[in-house]
Amino acid sequence: MFSFVSCICNQRILIACRLLQPNKHKLTILDDVSGIVRPGRMTLLLGPPASGKSTLLLALAGKLDPKLKKSGGITYNGIALDEFCVQRTSAYISQTDNHLGELTVRETLDFSAKCQGASENWGECLKELVNLEQKRGMRPSPEIDAFMKAASVGGDKHNLVTDYVLRVLGLDICADTLVGSDMERGVSGGQRKRVTTGEMIVGPRKTLLMDEISTGLDSSTTFQIVKCVRNFVHEMEATVLMSLLQPAPETFELFDDLILLSEGKIVYQGQIDHVVDYFKSLGFSLPPRKGIADFLQEVTSKKDQAQYWSDLSKPYSFIPVSAMAAAFTDSQYGRNLESHSHNSDGHTNSPEALARSKFAISKYSLIRACFARELILISRHRFLYTFRTCQVAFVGLITSTLFLRTRLHPIDEQNGELYLSCLFFGLVHIMFNGFSELSITIFRLPVFYKQRDNCFHPAWAFSLPNWILRIPYSIIEATVWSCVVYYTVGFAPTVDRFFRFMLLLFSIHQMALGLFRMMGAIARDMTIANTFGSAAMMAIFLLGGFIIPKEAIKPWWEWAYWVSPLMYGQRAISVNEFSDSRWSKVSGYMNNTVGTNVLLAHDLGTQNYWYWIGVGVLLAYALLFNVLFTLALAYLNPLQKAQALILANSEESKDSKNDGAASDRNTTTEKSDRTNVLEVTTEGTRRKGTLPFQPLTMTFHNVNYFVDMPKEMQARGINEKRLQLLFEVSGVFRPRVLTALVGSSGAGKTTLMDVLAGRKTSGCIEGDIKISGHPKEQQTFARIAGYVEQNDIHSPQVTVEESLWFSSALRLPTDISRETKKAFVEEVTSLVELDELRHALVGKPGSSGLSTEQRKRLTIAVELVANPSIIFMD
């Protein structure tokens, strides 16, 4: 047994050191997928979760992970992807919302419009329309003609195209609201999803690949967006492939063509009008009052397929997806599709159809747009910079009291050591004050990678404003520390040495900002950056020449001593102080001056040129680190790991293959699952005797909620001090009754649930909220309530099972035995269908771990294992 365990440990060590290849299993995501997406026609990509829709869209957009093995070819108008700039020709709209939360909705779309050359594109469209009108002898509508001309003229602050997209997407009511993030308040989840869509279509690009844009949107808003895109497609002959999980019937009818994907295979592709007849030929009929989209997603599932069987001439037997795909290939629809695919080289001679240049506008316009955005971000972070400046002044005051010059100190080596210590502390503090640049850089990287991959701007256009606009801040910090500390402590009193002291602090601060910026861009993860960043800082401090003198450093570490930027800063600032005339008194020790003895005691240079060497090297390091920062942004990609799928046993593996994707559920099934969840937690657990709880009734009467009036609305002339979000809301939630809270996006659904659950930390709440007739006490209410947020926030480095165990261990009563907790966790895991993923890492959204749908299931399960009496599901 011992030798077996040792063998396993050694194997894991070899795999971690990349000396041994781990056991890999081939997973086919897309299997012999062929098709055509025509211009001027709306194409819907339909399929259950984990069927390969996102992978197909990424492949068409030229954004597949290069580590994936792929075969086949993709052409636009008969031209291969490597012959033009596909990133500018097509726009992939991700289902992951990555935005800078400090920008408003309008500012986000304005920046996107500037980088994509929206005004220039509208100008080209205007020229095409004018030529077309002249050929056909048409006279344009005055309103449309005025709009086209105004849209073709770009503005410095706002763009008319942005205003148009805001109105189409229904974002004009929150145009001046901050986008926000998972940890910052901003627009609602549905509005943030529309911002993701608007950021790409504001271009405009004539090829749109839209991945699950309806997530978080109500059916009415989804219908309006699809209708607008449909008009754009038909009028401008654009090409759109849109993926939707479960479109409403009225939205489904807006599409012209359909691609049905399941288990990585195309089950049907063609006109939407023919899809019902095709499946009827296979023996499956659409029941009355059943949506076609629901029917198509359930007809490929083993659990739901039997109910649609209508061929009474032979008994029903499950038809797997592979058989359906083969049947489609042999059908008339499949043969017609293949013939059309071989004759799809139209418009290849049009030079304007495909983008040839990498960027839409000139370098000057790009850098101007990036500078303007960086100024806005700095102004939004003014609290951080103000606090850090005050921190420098406060620490400087403390330093001054520690080294206070109440009298003229005797000029000797002992007091020289005190002055040298104060100089070293000043360098370290100024250097550490740039550490926050590390987290700021890492938090902005996802947005940068998205915009870089879509050819919004190059890496240098992002890094240059970060560098240039931090120079005034470095000057302020150096000035504040120098003014507070220099004369108070009693450094060399000459004016020239004071300004040289200030210049050196400026240089060390610029070097530190560049160093932390570079660390963030290379690490690309906060945990890795903090770990290696702290280790690098300790090495720099130890080898800086003050803590350990040069003569005490071992020979094999001397190279690191000369590489350390702090060493040059320490030498420069020491020479600036101890070469002053007041330290020129001859000492009785070694017949040198006192200043020379202090410098030699730490093996620091005594020549004056060391000051200018130090300043020059620090500025050179600042330049080097910013160049490396730019190169890291240009050539490194986000840290991504494969989305692991660990099956519990072989039987579950077979079942999952027969059932299609592991997470094959549509929204209707999800709604019934949620109903079953509540039934199991109220009745099933009580019937099984696992974890009974007290059923509770929640009532609320005349609930009002106020927040402070936003400054943007006050600027419009609104004089009220408070903005009311909830108006006299009353209702009751009863046990064993599943209540649906419905409303359009931005109607206040999340606000109402936050107020009732006691999750609002700001604003003013009025009204009565009672639990079973008693006033709600938040401390006890939190123990019996669960809240499923819109945002799926989890620890990325733990598994699904560990996440559920952690939640149950902290939230279930201590008198419940471990075996009972384990049984309850297993029940919830099976209920939300995560038992096959129990050992998979959660990962980060959009890059690793669980998919979006699986992550939502985990969010629900984390709350259910707490056995709540009242559960809110947003």
Q: How many Cβ atoms sit within 10 Å of the Cβ of residue 52? A: 22
Question: Can you give the pLDDT at residue 369?
Answer: 92
CA pair distance 146, 165, nearest whole angstrom: 17
Specify the 3-state DSSP secondary structure of 424.
helix
Q: Are the C-beta atoms of 59 and 30 separated by less than 8 Å?
A: yes
Domain residue limits, the chain: 372-635, 650-873
Q: In the sheet where 774-775 sits, what is the strand order?
A: 722-733, 698-708, 764-771, 774-775
Assess whether pLDDT exceeds 80 at residue 662: no
Q: How far apart are CA 750 and CA 264, in angstroms?
A: 36
Average pLDDT over residues 652-673: 38
Beta carbons within 8 Å of 164's beta carbon, 6+ residues apart: 147, 151
- Mean pLDDT, residues 289-312: 87
Torsion of CA 295, 298, 299, 301, to 10 degrees: 180
Greatest mean pLDDT among 186-195, 592-601, 731-740: 731-740
- Mean pLDDT, residues 303-320: 86
Q: Three-state DSSP class for 211?
A: strand
Q: What is the mean pLDDT of residues 416-422?
A: 87
Residue percentage of the chain with pLDDT more than 90: 31
Provide the pLDDT confidence category of residue 269 given band limits of 50, 70 and 90. Answer: very high
Among the residue ranges 159-163, 224-228, 278-282, 460-464, the one predicted with the least confidence is 159-163
Of 423, 427, 632, 370, residue with least CA distance to 514: 632
Quick: pLDDT tens for 704-763.
999 888 776 777 777 788 888 899 999 999 998 999 998 877 788 889 999 999 888 888
State the Cα–Cα distance between residues 544 and 568, nearest whole angstrom: 8
> What is the per-residue pLDDT for 142?
66
347: left (phi over 0), alpha (psi -120 to 50) or beta: left
The tens digit of pLDDT for each residue in 122-141 reads 555 655 666 666 666 666 66
Q: How far apart are CA 56 and CA 45, in angstroms?
A: 10
- What's the token pair of residue 457? 């701007």
Enter the DSSP assignment of 541.
Answer: H
Q: Quickly state the pLDDT bin for 3 (edges 50, 70, 90).
A: very low
pLDDT value at position 679?
38
What tokens were used for 701? 């009467």
Task: Tell me what the pLDDT averaged over the chain comes to.
Answer: 82
Cα–Cα distance measured from residue 81 to residue 76, given in angstroms and rounded to the nearest whole number: 7
Secondary structure (H, E, C), 514-544? HHHHHHHHHHCCHHHHHHHHHHHHHHHHHCC
199: its two tokens? 């950021």
Neighbour count for residue 816 (Cβ, 10 Å): 14
Residue 79, strand partner residues: 76
Kind plus residue range of the DSSP H or E element containing 839: none
Q: Which amino acid is at 842?
A: V
- Is 633's pLDDT higher than 80? yes
Q: Would you state the pLDDT for residue 345?
A: 52
Does residue 338 or residue 425 have the better pLDDT? 425
User: Quick one: fold of 650-873?
Assistant: Rossmann fold (3.40.50)
Q: What DSSP designation does 258 have?
A: E
The confidence score (pLDDT) of residue 554 equals 85
Q: Tell me what pLDDT residue 585 has.
A: 80
CA 228/CA 236 separation, integer angstroms:
12
Residue 376 has pLDDT above 90, yes or no: yes
Per this entry, what is the length of the chain? 874
CB-hemisphere CA count at 13 Å for 396? 21
- The pLDDT of 85-96, averaged and rounded, is 86
pTM of structure: 0.77
